[in-house]
Amino acid sequence: MKRAFLFVALPFFVLAACKKNNTSSAATGISATINGKKVIFNGITRIDTSGGNLYISCSVDSLTFGSPLITLFVQGTRPLKTGLYPNLSLAPRASFQSDLSYATYQGYTSQQYQSYDDSVTVSFVNNSSASGTFSGRALYSDVDPGDAGRHEDRILTITDGKFNVRW
């Protein structure tokens, strides 16, 4: 009887001893209002918690090959804790920071809006999930190499951002 129990239970002990992967493609919930338009990101998702940081990247849907894509990155406290994480440009002496970016792709053309003056608030975190809010602006700077005088900056305003992710 003991042998049968050990034979059946052994695979469960082996699986329980395996190290958990910090990268996940689990279901996620991310939404934001971008330039006045509500957007839900529920497509291709990447979550990485290695090094005590939190990296979340999610597209609008799986059919658009990752476009548009929003990315949140929170770093600086190990382990990750609840609290406000401002963009480094807003708090240059802070030992922690956030980075919010947004990208669109059409064929071989991309527009990548980089972190400008955003902040991320982590309201809940444990060893398998995190949730919070984010807002700010992301900057796209377009320089035409054929026309040294042409330079165009565009700013996206991101409000009412919410995330709830599991890994």
Amino acid at 93: R
Q: What are 15-35's pLDDT values in tens digits?
A: 333 333 344 444 468 999 999
Neighbours of 81 (CB within 10 A): 13
Written as six digits, the tokens of 61 are: 């849907």
CB-based contact 100:114 (threshold 8 Å): no
Q: What are the sequence ranges of the domains in the chain?
A: 22-166
Q: Is 9 left (phi over 0), alpha (psi -120 to 50) or beta?
A: alpha
* Ramachandran category for residue 35: left, alpha or beta (phi over 0 → left; psi -120 to 50 → alpha): left
Output the tens digit of pLDDT for each of the chain's 167 residues: 444 433 333 333 333 333 333 444 444 689 999 999 999 998 888 899 888 889 999 888 766 555 788 999 888 767 888 999 888 665 555 566 788 888 887 777 778 888 878 899 999 999 899 999 999 998 887 655 565 555 567 888 999 999 999 98
Tokens of 45: 């998702």
Q: What is the DSSP letter of 14?
A: H
CA 2 to CA 77: how far, in whole Å?
Answer: 47
